[in-house]
Chains A and B, each alone.
Chain A
Amino acid sequence: MADEQLLEQPESKEVIAPGYTFGSVTDQISAVVLTKHQPLFWIASFGVGFCLLQLLLVSAVLLFTKGVGIWGIRTPVMWGFAITNFVWWIGIGHAGTLISAILLLLNQSWRNSINRFAEAMTLFAVACAGLFPILHMGRPWLAYWLFPYPNSMNVEPNFRSPLVWDVFAVSTYATVSLLFWFTGLIPDLGTLRDRAKHFIPQRIYGVLAMGWRGSAKHWSIYETATLLLAGMSTPLVLSVHTVVSFDFTVAIVPGWHSTFFPPYFVAGAIYSGFAMVLALAIPLRAAYGLQGLITDRHLENAAKVMLATGLIVAYAYIMETFMAWYSGSPYEQQAFWNRMTGPYSSSYWFLVFCNIVSPQVLWFKKFRRTPVLLFISSIIVLIGMWLERYMIIVSSLAQDYVTSSWGLFHATRWDWATYWGTIGLFLFLFFLFVRALPMISIFEVRTLLPQAKVTEEVRR
C-alpha cells in the first residue's frame, strides 16, 4: 500500500478551483447573461463607457464639420495623437489572438477560461484602432478609396506603400478575429438557447447558434476548424504589428528607419495586450464572483507573460539607443539625444519608468498573487505603452533632419476628447458583450474538469 501511494503521481495542478461540475460551470457562467439584474459594477462601467462614447460622437461631429485642425497636428508633426492611439489600440488587441491562437497551439489549457473575453477585447480594440486612421484622413467619407476597386477616376492604390499594406493587414485581422470569436461562441450559444427561459432570448440565441446540437461528428469537424484557424491566426497576429511597424521603418525619418522595429513592436503589442487582459479580468472576476474560474494562477501566468514581453521591450529600448550611437549617423544620434534631453524628455523618462522599471516588481510571486497590485501595475504598463508610441511618433517627427523645419506638437482638448472617447467606445462595447454573451467559454471550461477525462480502466 505504502509503495503504491509513493508511486502515485503527485496531483496535477488543476487550472480551475476544485468542486466544479459540468452543471455548475454552465450555471455560473450563463447566469451572468440570463438574468435581469446586473451588479453595480456593470452599471457603473457601462455608464462610464456610454458617457465617454458621447464624447467621441461630439468630437467626431466637430471633426467632420471643422476638419483635422481641431487637433494639435501641425507641420511637421502630422501624425500626432491619431496614429499614436491607432498603434496603441491595435497592440492591445494582440493579446487576445495570442491567447486564443498561440496558446491553443501550445496546448496551454489555462487559456480556456480567459480566451473568450480576451478575443472580445481584441475585436473591440481593433474597432477603436480602425477609427483613428479614418478620422485622421481629413475626408473620412472617402475612406473606401483605400481599397482597389474599378472606378471612374482610373486610379488605384499604390501597392508598394506600407500604408496600403496596413489597410489589408488590419482589415484581415479584424475579419479573422471576428470569425474566430464567433466560431468559438457557437457551442455556447447553443447552451444559452437551451437554458434561456423566455421566448425572445431563446429565439435570438437559437438563430445565432444555427442549430448546433453538440453532435460528435460536428465536434470532430469543429475541432479541426479551430485548430486551422489558430494555425492561420498565429502568423497573422505576428504580421499585423509587423506591418504597422513598416509604416515607420520604411520612412527615412531618423528614429523610425530601423530594421528591428517589427519584433520590437510585436513584443510591445503583447505586453500592452496582457496588461489590458489583467486590467479587465481582475475587476470582472471580483464583480461576478468568478475567482474559481479565473484563478490567481491565471493572473500569475498573465503577469509572467507581461514580465517576459516587458523585458523584451526593455532590451529593444536599449538596442535602439545603442544602434543609434553605433550607426554613426549624426541624425540618428541627434534624434535619440533629443528624446532623452529634448522637449519630450519628461515623457521619455516616464515611459522608461512605466515600461522598464515598474514591471520588475513582477519578479516577486507575492506581487503576482495580489490582484490589486497587479491591476495597478497593468494600468501603469498601459500608460507606458501609450507613451512609447507617442514618443516614437511625435519626437521623431518634431525634430528631423533640417533644424529650420523643427516644430513641436501640442495636444488640444479635442485630441484628448477623441482618445478618451475611444476608451468609452471600448468600454461600451465590452460591457455590452459581458451582458449579452458568455464572457468565459463554457464548453472549453468543461473540458478542464477532472470528470471530463475518459477514465483509463475502462479504455482498452
Chain B
Amino acid sequence: MSSAGVYGVMAEFDSPTSLVNAARAAHEKGFRKLDAYTPFPIEELSEVLHLHKNKLPLIVLCGGILGGLTGYLLQYFVTVIYFPINIGGRPLHSWPSYIIITFELTILFGCLSAVLGMLALCGLPMPYHPTFNVPRFALASRDRFFLCIEATDPMFDLEGTAGFLETLEPKEVSEVAN
C-alpha cells in the first residue's frame, strides 16, 4: 500500500469517552495533524486536541468597534455637516441621542463578523471534503465518533498509522481517499 492519493486514516468509535481517550493517545504518541468528528461539541476533546484558542473574539471585537464608529460617525456627519437642522438652538452635535443607533450598529456589525468570521475560520462553505468519501462517515452527524490522522502528519505511514489506530479499540478503521 502506498500513501499516495490518501487523505488519512480514520477510526470509528461509539462513545465520546472512547473517542477522547483515543485522541489523547494519538496526541501523546506524537501525531499532530489529526482531527475528530462528532455529532455534538465535546469540551474534553478540545482540551485533548489543544483547540482552545481561536481568533474569533478578536474578529468580533474589531467588527463591533467598526460598527460603533460607523454608527457614531454616520450620525455626526448627517446631523452636523451634511444636513444640519437648528431646532430651538440646540447643539447640532447632540451626542446623547446618538447612543442608540451607535449601540445597534455595534451589535449588528459584531454579530455579522461573528457569523462570517466563524465560517471563514472553519473554511466553510466547503462542498467537498475527503472525509465524505468514507461511507460510514454519514453517521458522524448521528451517533458515531471519528478520529482521523491525516497523511500530512510527518509520522504518518499508511500501515503503521492504521495499525496504531487498531490498538485503540475502535469499531472500524478505514482509509480516507483523497
Contact = CB atoms under 8 A, between A and B. Distances in A.
B124 A225 contact: no
A139 to B, nearest CB: 21
A223 B129 CA distance: 22
A216 B46 contact: yes
B38 A220 contact: no
Contacts of B138: 194-195
Interface string A210-246: 1111111111111111001100110110010001001
A215 B46 CA distance: 11
Contacts of B115: 179, 182-183, 225, 229
Name the residue in A164, A225, A232, A444 with the highest tally of chain B Cβ atoms < 10 Å from its Cβ. A225
B101 A168 contact: yes
Interface in A424-444: 443-444
Given A23-B142, A159-B79, A216 B107 contact: no
A154 B85 CA distance: 13
Nearest to A160: B97
A207 B154 CA distance: 34
Tell me whether chain B's interface is mostly helix, strand or loop, or mixed. Answer: helix
Interface stretch (A289-297, A298-306, A330-338, A447-455): A447-455
Contacts of A221: 54, 56, 118, 121-122
Nearest to A186: B124
A211 B76 CA distance: 43
A234 to B, nearest CB: 10
Contacts of A216: 23, 35-38, 42, 45-46, 49, 51
Contact of A213 (B37, B104, B111): B37
A175 B83 contact: no
A458 B17 contact: yes
Contact of B100 (A168, A210, A218, A446): A168
A180 B115 CA distance: 8
Contacts of A193: 141
A169 interface: yes
Contact of B40 (A157, A211, A452, A459): A452
Chain A: interface size category: 35 or more
A175 B111 contact: yes
Nearest to B96: A160
Nearest to A170: B104
B114 A21 contact: no
B163 interface: no
Contacts of A454: 16-17, 20, 42, 44
Given A159-B79, A225-B114, A213 B107 contact: no
A214 B140 contact: yes
Given A216-B23, A217-B35, 4 more contacts: A175-B108, A219-B46, A221-B118, A225-B117
7 contacts: A159-B75, A159-B98, A215-B36, A224-B57, A232-B60, A235-B103, A443-B40
Interface of A: 21-23, 26, 148, 154-160, 164-165, 168-169, 172, 175-176, 179-180, 182-183, 187, 190-191, 193-195, 206, 210-225, 228-229, 232-233, 235-236, 239, 243, 246, 443-444, 446-447, 451-455, 458-459
Interface of B: 15-17, 20-21, 23, 35-42, 44-46, 49, 51-52, 54, 56-57, 60, 64, 74-75, 78-79, 82-83, 85, 87, 94, 97-98, 100-101, 103-105, 107-108, 110-112, 114-115, 117-119, 121-122, 124-129, 131-132, 137-143
